[in-house]
Amino acid sequence: MSNPSILILPGDGIGPEVMTEVRKVIGWFGDKRGLAFDISEDLVGGAAYDKHGTPLHDDTMAKAQEVDAVLLGAVGGPKYDELDFSVKPERGLLRLRKEMDLFANLRPAQCFDALADFSSLKKDIVAGLDIMIVRELTSGVYFGEPRGIFKEGNERVGINTQRYTESEIARVARASFELAKRRGNKVCSMEKANVMESGILWRDVVNEIHQAEYPEVELSHMYADNGAMQLVRAPKQFDVILTDNLFGDVLSDCAAMLTGSLGMLPSASLGAPMANGRPKALYEPVHGSAPDITGQSKANPIACILSFAMALRYSFDSGDEATRLETAVEQVLADGVRTADLMQAGDASPVTTSQMGDAIVTALEASL
């Protein structure tokens, strides 16, 4: 049987820098844990535009559809700011998400003890935090029709439409319940059923899926505005939060920053299962290409490395190895190893991107 396959798309700016460290980690799992992958690498974003005049070549798109998981660094940068909208680097990423139909965006908010001081909230409120936001990613108000800016009488009117079908709600609800079963067994669904019909349908469908397929999972509902308040008041009450595209956009950013630096945040975007049972999947750090620190060996590779941990867990049925990697990251942070973004007054000097990658591999080695 062939090895599982990964397409690596380092992208622009610090993307290639952090991806070099992920490759060290992937190499370690191949050498020491018998987890060998068939790795291919290609261009996306500005790097693809420079070579092909498009931010995602059709051949790359076709490869992404075939592999078991795509791992992406970051796209964009000032060099491409003046390009036409249709060929901007970000369009490459949007095309991947759209054509792979990645409808469930998973954003963990996890607070490593060593970084609890980084949160803007009190340490006891965030220490040990481990929640997962599941955001519907391919429908809702960002895609609904009609949309546009129209003339009405003598003024303009801007229109976007919140639209969800039952099947769109059902599939992301299932993804959330499945996740909850592997975690704390609780889902809190957030919408605005008090003022939006799409919210009423959302709540109905989530209840139906729950009763018919996942009665053993604890389900609660919350209006999204209250959800935002609860996230900063008492975030540890949550396990999995299920929400739509618009509310998820806001709530996931809010939850993520409970835990500190942008350089720490991984994500996964999952679609329907393929013939081999694995979901279509794209893993990427939440951060962008960080042009302000590109080429200076300052980038924190942890977000991208933790994205690979998510791949181990959700694409490659290797939850124990994902935990091993997350524990290695936690150990390195507890030992005081810090890239520049994680420094606080009084800390020793920061390590480079490559030194952080090496420290994580050393911690993995020590875990054996």
Residue 192 is a catalytic residue: yes
Q: What is the largest CA-CA distance in the chain?
A: 72
> Please, is 281 exposed, middle or buried when counting C-beta atoms within 10 Å of its C-beta (0-12, 13-18, 19+)?
buried
Q: Which of 4, 16, 288, 357 binds ligand NAD (CB under 6 A)?
A: 288
CB of residue 208 to ligand NAD, shortest distance in Å = 34
Query: Which residue is catalytic, options 63, 101, 142, 181?
Result: 142
59 binds ligand NAD (CB under 6 A): no
Unique residue bearing structure tokens 């969800």? 164
Q: What share of the chain is helix, strand, coil (3-state, %, to 5)?
A: 45, 20, 30
6 binds ligand NAD (CB under 6 A): no
The residue count for binding ligand NAD (CB under 6 A) is 22
What residues numbered 115-154 form the site for ligand NAD, per CB under 6 A? none
Q: Which of 190, 341, 356, 361 binds ligand NAD (CB under 6 A)?
A: 341
152: left (phi over 0), alpha (psi -120 to 50) or beta: beta
CB of residue 266 to ligand NAD, shortest distance in Å = 11
CB of residue 89 to ligand NAD, shortest distance in Å = 7
Q: Which two three-digit tokens encode residue 166? A: 């039952």
Helix (H, G, I), strand (E, B) or coil at 311: helix
What residues numbered 71-100 form the site for ligand NAD, per CB under 6 A? 74-77, 90, 93
Residue 225 is a catalytic residue: yes
225 binds ligand NAD (CB under 6 A): no
> Please, is 207 exposed, middle or buried when counting C-beta atoms within 10 Å of its C-beta (0-12, 13-18, 19+)?
middle
Which positions lie near ligand NAD, rule CB under 6 A? 14, 18, 74-77, 90, 93, 262-263, 284, 287-293, 299-300, 303, 341
